[in-house]
Structure 1
């Protein structure tokens, strides 16, 4: 346990001080972000109006824009420190000491090669209004195509950023070179966004205390194999899965059903997966229902890094959605179905 805590101690995030109550009709509001001294660089660099999103950002329009692979390849990154053997594998949840009621909300920001994904401001604004910590697993392409939103998420002391592959490719079918690109160039995209944030005049005095580098990774489609797990571990990142599936990309699932799923399956040390790239359906509405009830039950929302540092990770040898082997059947169905944007999906549509 001492070794695990030592390895994970660098993942702790800064606490946020503003906490308020949200209702379903308040989704999208950023009025209660808290005083500027609490929000720090976020408040110095952006007004509440600039942080607030628009319906247009939810869309995922076709895009022929090519992102700058050359710049990503030349981005200087620190040498990785490979993950220790006892922390390798697919982390699904965390065993916590008795009495600890911590839970981690995670949101995927995936974007494939041929289509630009959106930004679900309703989710982000609600988290800020509620003072709820969260971890965003961002694709490298998403970070590059949403530079302003990426910097805002990085600047927010309540949020943590992990990787989600460069172009949302299936890691189980990737070559060694592709695996390296998907991992390293995603971190390079994060480094570019972080540098752009720190270059802003509003972020220089005092200098922001922001996440140094990516230390967490979530596999696209939730799929991995031994080769992919090893590649991520050698890159110095922990592979993080989940044990509660929100189901938010499924148009058949109502906000109430989604909230009930989260509430009935919630437990200390749980990791919840949802989306904030515009592909989630009714995600913010479901959160508006679930968050107050989870708080009333004594749960504290933390980042994945904080959750890992608080206990012992529950690690599987492979990746799966809800039970071992279920991803293979889901991907096979996705291949037959194909999503509208031409990419496969583990959760019906991502």
Structure 2
């Protein structure tokens, strides 16, 4: 699978909470300043480090953001050519049917492999596409055995992903970035500081990576969600095969509990 099983951030780096002042920051792949759909970002952290958002703290609204990592590494082309599926169109269809606004953290390599799907997702107002790197290589080492990028290569990798989204025709892109494997440290945050993105982690691990029991995934999510939560899941059939089925259990139950689904941009902007 492109993404290792989700985990908490590898190290506590400087972060700006959801209540921090938001700003508007243009960058490659994001809408130009003043354009419709411009997304809020957090102010830089201490010493200009890239800010990190995990959950909207002190959130009075019962809102929750479901996020899905559409990941594929730069060397998995032969596996895709051999029939392995790194996409999950059934999941996207279910999110549309259930009218669940969602944020898709996509790798550039995924967008290149599935350009029609990237465009379809990236032109649907139900979704926003955020950056999960181009190559899905690590920005901090060690990180689940992923090959590591140095600072200059890391920044270029982010830009290359935004370029892949543009090439596919995706327009609903936002200046958010999720570190592959969730692994980061201060040098990684410093390397991305000029990209003017907000790093987005999570506070609820779904456990859908390599899972075989959708009920267990649903139970884990339902047990962890709080107002303002960010849930990490995956949009990859080959390595997260029960996610779509789990979503059909999670969504109605959270709505029954009074939760409203929002994109990450709404959490950051409140």
- TM bucket, shorter chain: 0.7 to 0.9
Alignment counterpart, residue 260 of structure 1, candidates 206, 219, 226: 219
Which residue does 2:23 correspond to in 1? Answer: 7
Which protein has the larger Cα radius of gyration, Structure 1 or Structure 2? Answer: 1
Which residue does 1:187 correspond to in 2? Answer: 162
Residues 78/176 of structure 1: CA separation in 2 closer, same or farther (3 Å cut): farther
Distance 1:180 1:272 in 2: 26
Distance 1:82 1:254 in 2: 36
Once the 2 structures are TM-superposed, how far is the Cα of residue 174 of structure 1 from its aligned partner?
1.6
Which residue does 2:197 correspond to in 1? Answer: 237
Residues 156/5 of structure 1: CA separation in 2 closer, same or farther (3 Å cut): farther
Residues 230/168 of structure 1: CA separation in 2 closer, same or farther (3 Å cut): same
Once the 2 structures are TM-superposed, how far is the Cα of residue 231 of structure 1 from its aligned partner?
2.3
Distance 2:180 2:45 in 1: 23
Alignment: residue pair count = 229
Deviations 1:115-171 (A, max 9, x none): 145211121111000000000000011111111000000111010110011111011
Distance 2:112 2:192 in 1: 21
Which residue does 1:345 correspond to in 2? Answer: none
Which residue does 2:36 correspond to in 1? Answer: none
Q: Which runs of 5 or more structure 1 residues have no equivalent in the other structure?
A: 11-71, 198-209, 311-350
Which residue does 1:49 correspond to in 2? Answer: none
> Does residue 169 of the first structure (1) align with residue 169 of the second (2)?
no
Which residue does 1:91 correspond to in 2? Answer: 53
Which residue does 1:28 correspond to in 2? Answer: none
Deviates more, 1:155-164 or 1:176-185: 176-185
Which residue does 1:215 correspond to in 2? Answer: 175
Residues 262/113 of structure 1: CA separation in 2 closer, same or farther (3 Å cut): same
Once the 2 structures are TM-superposed, how far is the Cα of residue 281 of structure 1 from its aligned partner?
2.7
TM score, norm. by length of structure 1: 0.60
Q: How does 1:52-131 map to 2 (within 5 A)?
A: 83-85=43-45, 88-98=50-60, 100-115=61-76, 116=80, 118-131=86-99
Which residue does 1:294 correspond to in 2? Answer: 254
What's the RMSD between the two structures over aligned residues?
A: 2.9
Distance 2:179 2:261 in 1: 23
Deviations 1:167-219 (A, max 9, x none): 1101113212211221111111122223xx6xxxxxxxxxxxx53x5300001
Once the 2 structures are TM-superposed, how far is the Cα of residue 232 of structure 1 from its aligned partner?
2.4
Q: Is the 8 A contact 1:275 1:283 kept in 2?
A: yes
Distance 2:25 2:66 in 1: 19
Q: Which runs of 5 or more structure 2 residues have no equivalent in the other structure?
A: 1-16, 34-40, 141-147
Which residue does 1:280 correspond to in 2? Answer: 240
Q: Looking at both structures, which has the greater relative contact order when contacts are Cα pairs under 8 Å and sequence separation is at least 6?
A: 2
TM score, norm. by length of structure 2: 0.76
Which residue does 2:100 correspond to in 1? Answer: 132
Greater share of helix residues, 1 or 2? 1
Once the 2 structures are TM-superposed, how far is the Cα of residue 9 of structure 1 from its aligned partner?
10
Once the 2 structures are TM-superposed, how far is the Cα of residue 102 of structure 1 from its aligned partner?
0.6
Q: Is the 8 A contact 1:8 1:309 kept in 2?
A: no
Q: Is the 8 A contact 1:162 1:215 kept in 2?
A: yes
